[in-house]
């Protein structure tokens, strides 16, 4: 087979597709779909591999837009056979975690729901709230997403008052602890006045709160309090007593009426329209609602039961075994309920029951979860309607054949040519998709301090962004998730002309729609047109472009300030002979700032890896002439 035949997608090579499908067995296992660059697009599991994989390529099979886009890019299919379906689920979880395939994200990364991150990879872990769940270090742990951000912040504030823990991301002083240590809020992490083992025990107790294990935590603290009292350490006993009271106050008004409130359980339900599925998962421990998690999925990705099953699989794959409850209540029967129960029981080390209640108190709990999902769906619909209206208006303004699914915005930031950078921001369906944001350092030697050239800078960035499409004309453009439906340049006719010239030189203008948005009057320009389009600044399509432009400007300015700050911070160290980039980095990582380096003695400087006594003396002499 020729190389070109191998790189053809399977949907365009029916003979090779059929041959490959016949090679896949009807056994449980995991399948991996790859594109022409050998990148893994999707990882899935099934109890009958061949039937599941074949279903992607049947013309009668109605696929969601996301999966249909993925299927059009598949060049190769691999599979791994397992003994049972539960083993396939566990293997799928490990492979997805390892490779992070783009199309495996069933649950959309909705930025309005916060997570709690515990940085277990650090010597003294931090706990903080974040709305960006990115690929963290292997040992770091996310909890959530949590729907009630206010309650989450209250919980974390209370935890910081009850338990002595690290309060600052960086030390305030170099050689002494700050006021938090004197107040008993921090055990002196910055000066290592507490051992790593003892500090991690404290963080593990706090993490139990966000795992929904407050009952277990109270039992542990009660035992510690009794031991302290028996040892006549009444001060420690009183402190633990206050911790117990504070933890109990968190759930004082969240009692859920259930007949067996000693059982830990999760309850999950969804509400869906033709496009969106909003899922709510309530975590109930000892009869108290300790967590309310929210997820979004594509309503066309499967039946309600299949969506709930996938949500539970993804949620519990990322959870610790102690977070898995003894009972899971579901709104609909799951297609593979027995398999999921077996998998969860194996992970937890004891039996886990999955139940779709139809009557009495447990059914009423599911109805309450469903009502919350309906409220979230209504809010999502309002937000989607606003975005759809804006995209439709924008499509009418610039004469696009369809709604612009992916829009990219570009901006340049510098100070008189110094530290020139560019930003690329992406809106998908009218919403910022920050995982696709990119920034660029301008490499053009003509752009330097005292000599700026926004036209040349934009031309360079656009050339770098679309270079791969110019070098490989066979690479799919329209319909590719990486190909924008619209490109917006921040600027007027001059900036637009420089970009158009580059795209024409790369033979890409035929498939790419480009506009510019001028700042002063919010005017939209098209290539080759001397006058702006007749628009009003407040109409929905123009507002969408303004949001894109403002986000591109913010992202560019932030990166520019970072580059400028790094340069200013390193400028003095550059003047020291023998102190290269790597050693500068080690010094700054150790001392945190130039001021601390200036104050350090030769002996303290020599403690940094790679800084010998001779170089330490030279650094000291530089700051103390």
Structure tokens given for 198: 């003892």
Using CA atoms, how far residue 404 sits from 267, 302, 452, 580, in Å, is: 38, 25, 33, 48
Core vs surface per residue 100-138: b (16+ CB within 10 A) or e: ebbbbebbeeeeebbbbbbbbeeebbbbeeeeebeeeee
**Domain 572-623: which CATH class?**
mainly alpha
Backbone angles phi, psi at 284, to 5 degrees: -120, 120
CB atoms within 10 A of CB 233: 14
What do you get for the CA distance between the two ends of the chain, in Å?
A: 72
Pick the CATH number of 399-567 from 3.40.640.10, 1.10.3720.10, 3.30.420.340, 3.40.50.10490: 3.30.420.340
Q: Is the pLDDT at 220 greater than 80, yes or no?
A: no
Q: How far apart are CA 97 and CA 99, in angstroms?
A: 6
pLDDT digits (tens, 9 = 90+) for 578-614: 777 788 778 877 777 777 787 888 888 888 887 888 8
Using CA atoms, how far residue 321 sits from 112, 284, 449, 481, in Å, is: 27, 16, 56, 36
**Residues 6+ away with beta carbon under 8 Å from 544:** 387, 390, 391, 393, 394, 407, 427, 430
pLDDT at 427: 92
- 399-567 and 265-379 share a CATH fold: yes
Q: How far apart are CA 241 and CA 343, in angstroms?
A: 39
What's CA 442's distance to the chain center, in Å? 27
> Is 387 strand, coil or helix?
helix
Mean pLDDT over residues 538-554, rounded? 91
pLDDT at 255: 44
Q: Is the pLDDT at 224 greater than 50, yes or no?
A: yes
pLDDT band at 569 (very low <50, low <70, confident <90, very high): low
**Domain 265-379: which CATH class?**
alpha beta
Sign of the torsion angle spanned by Cα atoms 353, 358, 361, 365: positive
Mean pLDDT over residues 491-508, rounded? 91
Return the higher-pLDDT residue of 16 and 248: 16
Mean pLDDT over residues 542-565, rounded? 88
**Residues 6+ away with beta carbon under 8 Å from 581:** none
Taking each helix axis from N to C terminus, what angle separates 149-162 and 196-210, rounded to the nearest 10 degrees?
150
What are the extents of the domains in the chain? Answer: 3-104, 265-379, 399-567, 572-623
- The architecture CATH gives domain 3-104: 3-Layer(aba) Sandwich (3.40)
pLDDT digits (tens, 9 = 90+) for 289-331: 777 788 888 887 788 998 999 889 888 887 777 778 889 999 9
Rg (CA), the chain: 29
What is the pTM (predicted TM-score) of this model? 0.56
Q: What percent of the chain shows pLDDT beyond 90?
A: 20
Q: How far apart are CA 559 and CA 305, in angstroms?
A: 44
pLDDT band at 410 (very low <50, low <70, confident <90, very high): very high
pLDDT at 420: 87
Averaged pLDDT score across all residues of the chain: 83
pLDDT digits (tens, 9 = 90+) for 129-154: 887 766 556 778 887 667 667 777 87
pLDDT band at 4 (very low <50, low <70, confident <90, very high): very low
Using CA atoms, how far residue 312 sits from 90, 280, 305, 306, 338, in Å, is: 13, 11, 11, 10, 13
pLDDT band at 31 (very low <50, low <70, confident <90, very high): very high
């Amino acid at each position: 087979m020729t190389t070109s035949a191998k790189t053809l997608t399977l949907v365009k090579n029916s003979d090779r597709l059929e041959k490959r499908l016949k090679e896949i067995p009807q056994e449980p296992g995991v399948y991996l779909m790859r594109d022409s660059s050998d990148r893994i697009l999707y990882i899935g599991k099934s109890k009958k591999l061949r039937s599941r994989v074949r279903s992607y390529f049947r013309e009668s099979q109605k696929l969601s837009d996301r999966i249909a886009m993925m299927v059009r890019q598949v060049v190769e299919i691999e599979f791994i056979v397992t003994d049972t379906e539960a083993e396939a689920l566990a293997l799928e979880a490990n492979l997805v975690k390892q490779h992070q395939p783009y199309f495996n994200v069933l649950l959309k990364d909705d930025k309005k729901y916060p997570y709690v991150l515990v940085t277990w990879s650090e010597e003294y872990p931090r706990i903080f709230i974040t709305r960006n769940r990115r690929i963290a270090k292997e040992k770091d742990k996310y909890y959530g997403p949590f729907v009630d951000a206010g309650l989450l912040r209250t919980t974390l504030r209370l935890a910081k008052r009850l338990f002595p823990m690290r309060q600052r991301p960086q030390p305030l002083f170099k050689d002494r602890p700050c006021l938090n240590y004197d107040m008993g809020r921090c055990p002196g992490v910055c000066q290592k006045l507490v051992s790593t083992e003892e500090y991690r025990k404290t963080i593990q107790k706090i993490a139990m709160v966000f795992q929904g294990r407050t009952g277990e935590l109270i039992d542990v603290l009660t035992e510690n309090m009794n031991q302290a009292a028996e040892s006549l350490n009444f001060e420690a006993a009183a402190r633990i007593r206050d911790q117990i009271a504070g933890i109990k106050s968190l759930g004082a008004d969240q009692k859920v009426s259930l007949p067996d409130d000693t059982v830990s359980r999760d309850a999950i339900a969804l509400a869906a329209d033709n496009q969106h599925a909003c899922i709510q998962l309530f975590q109930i421990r000892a009869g108290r609602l300790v967590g309310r998690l929210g997820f979004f999925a594509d309503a066309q990705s499967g039946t309600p039961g299949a969506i709930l099953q996938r949500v539970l699989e993804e949620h519990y794959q990322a959870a610790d075994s102690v977070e898995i409850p003894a009972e899971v209540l579901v709104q609909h029967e799951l297609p593979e309920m027995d398999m999921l129960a077996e998998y969860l029981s194996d992970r937890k080390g004891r039996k886990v029951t999955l139940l779709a209640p139809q009557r009495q108190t447990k059914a009423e709990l599911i109805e309450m979860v469903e009502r919350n999902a309906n409220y979230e769906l209504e809010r999502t619909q309002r937000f989607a309607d606003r975005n759809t209206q804006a995209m439709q208006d924008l499509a009418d303004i610039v004469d696009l054949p369809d709604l612009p699914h992916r829009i990219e915005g570009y901006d340049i930031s510098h100070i008189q040519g110094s530290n020139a950078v560019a930003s690329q921001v992406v809106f998908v369906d009218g919403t910022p998709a920050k995982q696709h944001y990119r920034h660029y350092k301008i490499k053009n030697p003509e752009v330097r301090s005292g000599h700026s050239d926004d036209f040349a800078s934009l031309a360079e960035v656009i050339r770098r962004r679309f270079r791969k499409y110019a070098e490989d004309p066979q690479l799919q453009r329209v319909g590719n998730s990486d190909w924008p439906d619209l490109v917006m340049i921040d600027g007027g006719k001059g900036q637009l002309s420089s970009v158009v010239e580059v795209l024409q030189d790369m033979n890409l203008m035929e498939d790419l729609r480009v506009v510019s948005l001028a700042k002063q009057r919010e005017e939209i320009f098209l290539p080759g047109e001397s006058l702006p389009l007749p628009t009003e600044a407040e109409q929905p399509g123009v507002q969408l472009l303004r949001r894109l432009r403002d986000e591109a400007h913010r992202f560019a300015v932030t990166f520019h300030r970072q580059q400028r700050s790094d340069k200013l911070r390193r400028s003095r160290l550059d003047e020291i002979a023998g102190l290269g980039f790597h050693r500068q980095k080690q010094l700054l990582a150790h001392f945190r700032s130039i001021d601390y380096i200036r104050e350090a003695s030769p002996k303290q400087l020599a403690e940094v890896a790679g800084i010998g006594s001779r170089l330490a003396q030279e650094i000291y002499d530089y700051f103390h002439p």
